[in-house]
Homo-oligomer: A and B are copies of this chain.
Amino acid sequence: MTKIAIAGAGAMGSRIGSYIKQAGYDVTLIDTWPDHVQAINDKGLEIQTETDTYIVDIPAVLPTDVTGSFDLIIILTKSMHSEAMIHELKERDTIHQDTAILTMMNGLGHDERFAKIVPHEQVFLAVTMWTAGMRGPGQILLEGQGSIELQRADGQSDERTERINKIFNDAGLNAKISDNVFQSIWSKATLNSVLNPLCSILNKTIYEFGSYEYSRDMVTPVIDEIVTVAKTRGVTLDAHAMLEKIEAAYPKETQGLHYPSMHQDLYNGRYTEVDYLNGQISKYGREANIPTPNNDMLTHLIHQLEMKYVK
């Protein structure tokens, strides 16, 4: 039977893990937060939905206590902790020569970083529209529906891809195998690279940001840089479609009243994932000799604010 680990069992990892567990698979949650691991082991994972609260029994473990190996490891840590997580899992012999390491994190460049630690053909990429919230140790809040796209990072087709896709669909996670997952990853990263830093720098909701008469003049050059850089990486993005998606988030009826996740990280005293969004775009830009002044400036402004807010 396929042995599955969720490495990084925050809100999203717990959602994905609990869905797969409920579909009858062998799932282990791996997380660095001792209280969370303890609570899940003591009382099960408590899941609150819009209509219901229920418990899923699922084993949880600290990375330093992991034993045995896995056939599928889904990486859902914060981006900056993912490499340390894989190093730890590798040292503890949890990765065998067929283990699929699937990153489902936001941001760009994860596959390249992972391929420096494990063979490239073991790395899989996924992008998801599922969301989740954390209520406390062992307690998550689930709203809405989502989907998953996945592909092997080197673009090859693979029997494992089919197997992972089946697991996700058995779990009701609405998955499909993509022949260009980078397209979706970059598309999501574009949205995140615009509203995340801008709303964080300004300490504004998405609606408040969009209420500025010239918000389009702010957003468009950031998008244009990303579209240009994406092209050097073989990814074609539609700048107009990106703009439309961003502007569709402004109304109070959609996501307008929310602060993006980066805002929550920053003002709760945590480092942000800006280096995996705007910062990674700047890096790719430098490699391709393409200037990315907007993404550079946004990255620096967020790092300046991290100096101020991260405890």
Which A residues contact B (CB, under 8 angstroms)? Answer: 201-204, 208-209, 211-212, 214, 217-218, 221, 293-294, 296-298, 300-301, 303-305, 307-308
Contact = CB atoms under 8 A, between A and B. Distances in A.
A296 B201 contact: no
A305 B221 contact: no
Nearest to A203: B308
Contacts of A304: 202, 204, 209, 212, 218
B202 A293 contact: no
A296 B221 contact: yes
Given A201-B201, A293-B221, A293-B293, A214 B300 contact: yes
A208 B293 CA distance: 22
Contact of A212 (B211, B212, B300): B300
A221 B294 CA distance: 11
B218 A308 contact: no
19 contacts: A201-B301, A202-B301, A202-B305, A203-B308, A204-B304, A208-B307, A212-B300, A212-B307, A214-B303, A217-B296, A217-B300, A218-B297, A218-B300, A218-B304, A221-B293, A221-B296, A293-B294, A293-B297, A294-B297
Nearest to A307: B212
A307 B218 CA distance: 15
B214 A308 contact: no
A203 B297 CA distance: 16
A115 B308 CA distance: 45
A234 to B, nearest CB: 25
